[in-house]
Amino acid sequence: MKTLLATLFGLALVTAASPAAAYVVAIPTSISAKSVDDDTDLTAALRSAIDDVLSHAVAFSPTFVTVQTARLVGDRVYILLLIGDADGEETIKTMMKSSSDAEDENELK
Protein backbone atom coordinates (compact mmCIF):
# COMPACT_ATOMS: atom_id res chain seq x y z
CA MET A 1 0.00 0.00 0.00
CA LYS A 2 2.90 2.34 0.77
CA THR A 3 4.34 1.63 -2.67
CA LEU A 4 1.01 2.45 -4.32
CA LEU A 5 0.72 5.73 -2.42
CA ALA A 6 4.31 6.65 -3.23
CA THR A 7 3.73 5.79 -6.88
CA LEU A 8 0.56 7.88 -7.05
CA PHE A 9 2.25 10.79 -5.28
CA GLY A 10 5.23 10.61 -7.61
CA LEU A 11 2.91 10.32 -10.58
CA ALA A 12 1.14 13.49 -9.51
CA LEU A 13 4.46 15.32 -9.36
CA VAL A 14 5.70 14.00 -12.69
CA THR A 15 2.38 14.62 -14.43
CA ALA A 16 2.23 18.19 -13.12
CA ALA A 17 5.65 18.89 -14.62
CA SER A 18 4.90 17.20 -17.93
CA PRO A 19 3.08 19.03 -20.74
CA ALA A 20 1.48 15.78 -21.99
CA ALA A 21 -1.63 14.43 -20.29
CA ALA A 22 -1.10 11.02 -18.75
CA TYR A 23 -4.03 9.31 -17.09
CA VAL A 24 -3.65 6.87 -14.20
CA VAL A 25 -6.35 6.22 -11.62
CA ALA A 26 -6.68 3.86 -8.67
CA ILE A 27 -10.29 2.77 -8.28
CA PRO A 28 -11.71 0.52 -5.58
CA THR A 29 -14.61 -1.79 -6.38
CA SER A 30 -16.12 -4.89 -4.81
CA ILE A 31 -17.97 -8.08 -5.63
CA SER A 32 -20.11 -10.38 -3.52
CA ALA A 33 -18.18 -13.35 -2.16
CA LYS A 34 -21.43 -15.28 -1.75
CA SER A 35 -21.97 -15.45 -5.52
CA VAL A 36 -18.52 -16.96 -6.19
CA ASP A 37 -18.50 -20.76 -6.04
CA ASP A 38 -15.45 -21.55 -8.20
CA ASP A 39 -12.73 -19.97 -10.35
CA THR A 40 -15.11 -19.56 -13.29
CA ASP A 41 -17.56 -17.58 -11.16
CA LEU A 42 -14.70 -15.49 -9.74
CA THR A 43 -13.39 -14.68 -13.21
CA ALA A 44 -16.87 -13.72 -14.43
CA ALA A 45 -17.51 -11.53 -11.37
CA LEU A 46 -14.14 -9.79 -11.74
CA ARG A 47 -14.70 -9.14 -15.44
CA SER A 48 -18.14 -7.75 -14.71
CA ALA A 49 -16.81 -5.45 -11.97
CA ILE A 50 -13.95 -4.23 -14.16
CA ASP A 51 -16.27 -3.66 -17.15
CA ASP A 52 -18.60 -1.68 -14.87
CA VAL A 53 -15.72 0.53 -13.69
CA LEU A 54 -14.47 1.06 -17.24
CA SER A 55 -17.89 2.02 -18.54
CA HIS A 56 -19.00 4.24 -15.64
CA ALA A 57 -15.97 5.61 -13.79
CA VAL A 58 -13.27 6.19 -16.42
CA ALA A 59 -13.58 8.90 -19.07
CA PHE A 60 -10.48 7.95 -21.09
CA SER A 61 -9.49 4.94 -23.18
CA PRO A 62 -7.33 2.75 -20.93
CA THR A 63 -4.47 0.67 -22.27
CA PHE A 64 -3.93 -1.23 -19.03
CA VAL A 65 -5.89 -2.46 -16.03
CA THR A 66 -4.13 -4.15 -13.13
CA VAL A 67 -5.42 -5.53 -9.87
CA GLN A 68 -3.30 -3.92 -7.17
CA THR A 69 -4.84 -5.77 -4.24
CA ALA A 70 -7.87 -7.85 -3.32
CA ARG A 71 -9.17 -8.54 0.18
CA LEU A 72 -12.03 -10.58 1.55
CA VAL A 73 -13.93 -8.66 4.22
CA GLY A 74 -17.08 -10.33 5.46
CA ASP A 75 -19.12 -11.35 2.43
CA ARG A 76 -17.43 -8.91 0.00
CA VAL A 77 -14.22 -9.07 -2.01
CA TYR A 78 -12.73 -5.57 -2.20
CA ILE A 79 -10.49 -4.94 -5.20
CA LEU A 80 -8.19 -2.00 -5.95
CA LEU A 81 -7.70 -1.47 -9.69
CA LEU A 82 -4.96 0.62 -11.29
CA ILE A 83 -6.09 1.89 -14.70
CA GLY A 84 -4.24 4.09 -17.16
CA ASP A 85 -3.60 5.08 -20.73
CA ALA A 86 -0.41 4.69 -22.79
CA ASP A 87 1.11 7.94 -21.50
CA GLY A 88 0.27 6.94 -17.95
CA GLU A 89 1.91 3.58 -18.50
CA GLU A 90 5.11 5.26 -19.69
CA THR A 91 4.99 7.64 -16.72
CA ILE A 92 4.71 4.73 -14.28
CA LYS A 93 7.62 2.93 -15.98
CA THR A 94 9.74 6.09 -15.69
CA MET A 95 8.80 6.51 -12.03
CA MET A 96 9.53 2.88 -11.23
CA LYS A 97 12.92 3.14 -12.92
CA SER A 98 13.83 6.33 -11.07
CA SER A 99 12.54 4.82 -7.80
CA SER A 100 14.67 1.72 -8.42
CA ASP A 101 17.68 3.89 -9.23
CA ALA A 102 17.17 5.84 -5.98
CA GLU A 103 16.96 2.60 -3.98
CA ASP A 104 20.18 1.38 -5.63
CA GLU A 105 21.92 4.64 -4.68
CA ASN A 106 20.73 4.31 -1.07
CA GLU A 107 22.06 0.75 -0.88
CA LEU A 108 25.49 1.94 -2.01
CA LYS A 109 25.72 4.53 0.79
pLDDT attached to residue 52: 95
Domain definitions of the chain by residue range = 2-96
Residue 107: pLDDT over 90: no
Sign of torsion over alpha carbons 82, 88, 93, 95: negative
Report the distance separating Cα 105 and Cα 85, nearest Å. Answer: 30
Whether pTM exceeds 0.75:
no
Per residue in 9-63, pLDDT tens?
A: 666 666 655 556 889 999 999 999 998 899 999 999 999 999 999 999 998 999 9
